[in-house]
Amino acid sequence: MKSSHKIALVASVLLGLGASASMGVQAATATGNFNVVVNLTPKCEINSTSAATGASITDLTFSYTAFQALAATADTSFTVRCTGNLPYSLALDGPAAAGVYSYTDTDTGLDYTLRFRTSAAGVGDGTAKTHHIDGSMSGNQAGTCATATATAAAGSTTVCSNTGGNRQRTVTLTY
């Protein structure tokens, strides 16, 4: 055999061995499945806070002159933000009839009512929803000043304020 034929034969055998070796080695795979478990604790917040002492809501302030003919009105608002699809309801402290809460201010002796302007319930969607509280103080009330020293100097106006007593109201958010 000529040496050129030997080289060709050896090359051919080596190529054949290489081809068969590469054909015999194939990549293998294995798979496994697992679950991703998410535990969500839903919640609601007033004015985007979950502070233990409660959210701060802007004061509702009545300006009233004794015996005024017309009712005095005032309002305040706050936001509620809840987890998506979480139903919630709102309530005020004190006695209510048909959604109207009635109070008497102990420092001024004036009666007033509070109510939610729109529904006191909702369903969360993750965004802040504004709720309003409307107040009304009926006309023709005399009122009282808590102290006899609440007199004005000549030419000035005296204002008797409820600095104590039962002036704080509470909004309860239930979800």
Measured over the CA atoms of residue 77, residue 78, residue 84 and residue 88, the dihedral's sign is: negative
What are residue 77's phi and psi, to 5 degrees?
-145, 160
Q: What is d(CA 110, CA 74) in angstroms, rounded to the nearest whole number?
A: 14
Identify the pLDDT of residue 23.
61
User: Does the predicted TM-score (pTM) go above 0.85?
Assistant: no
In one-letter notation, the amino acid at residue 96 is: A
| Residue 34 to residues 7, 24, 31, 61, 151, Cα–Cα distance (Å) | 56, 33, 10, 58, 77
**Helices and strands (H and E) in the chain: how many:** 1, 9
Position 140 confidence tier, pLDDT thresholds 50, 70, 90? very high
pLDDT above 90 coverage of the chain, percent? 63
Other C-beta atoms within 10 Å of 77: how many? 14
Chain-centre distance of CA 31, in angstroms?
43
**What value does the mean pLDDT of the chain take?**
85
Q: Is the pLDDT of residue 154 over 60?
A: no
Position 162 confidence tier, pLDDT thresholds 50, 70, 90? confident
CATH code of 44-174, in short, is 2.60.40
In one-letter notation, the amino acid at residue 65 is: T
Identify the pLDDT of residue 159.
82
Q: Is the pLDDT of residue 21 over 70?
A: no
Identify the pLDDT of residue 156.
60
6: its two tokens: 């030997």
